[in-house]
């Protein structure tokens, strides 16, 4: 099961998976899949409908949760990496985290800007 104490969600959160799996699968691929699902759902529902507004707000929360989960688990996996490479990987991963956080802030600003440009819902 994905949510038990031995499930995928908690194992990743604790950093129990390898650094490679945590980074590539949980930190990068999961949010990409969520973004693709959001795009498909918005294409079906339409962003101007009432459901589109709820979808937009909910999708940002889901994406934030996925990024946070991926970030914490990958950070912990990097800290558990063998000491010879673990310290260097933590520093490299910290730099990558900063870049991703800056990108996240940019994404949030773009979302707010697009919401302001499109005006109030009809």
pLDDT in tens, 16-40: 998 788 888 998 899 888 888 887 8
Residue 11 in this model has a pLDDT that exceeds 90: yes
pTM of the entire structure? Answer: 0.66
In the prediction, which pLDDT does 25 show? 92
Q: Which residue has the higher pLDDT, 92 or 120?
A: 92
**CA distances, 98 to each of 17, 55, 59, 95 (Å):** 22, 28, 22, 5
Residue 10 in this model has a pLDDT that exceeds 90: yes
pLDDT in tens, 39-91: 788 778 766 667 766 777 777 788 888 888 988 888 788 778 766 566 666 67
């Amino acid at each position: 099961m994905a949510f038990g104490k031995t499930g995928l969600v908690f194992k990743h959160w604790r950093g129990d998976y390898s650094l490679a799996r945590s980074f590539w699968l949980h930190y990068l691929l999961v949010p990409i899949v969520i973004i693709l699902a959001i795009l498909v759902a918005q294409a079906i529902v339409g962003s101007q409908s009432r459901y589109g507004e709820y979808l937009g707000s909910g999708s940002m929360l889901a994406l934030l949760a996925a990024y946070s989960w991926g970030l914490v688990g990958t950070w912990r996996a990097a800290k558990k990496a063998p000491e010879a490479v673990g310290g260097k990987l933590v520093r490299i991963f910290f730099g990558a985290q900063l870049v991703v956080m800056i990108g996240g802030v940019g994404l949030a600003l773009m979302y707010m800007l697009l919401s302001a440009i499109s005006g109030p819902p009809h």
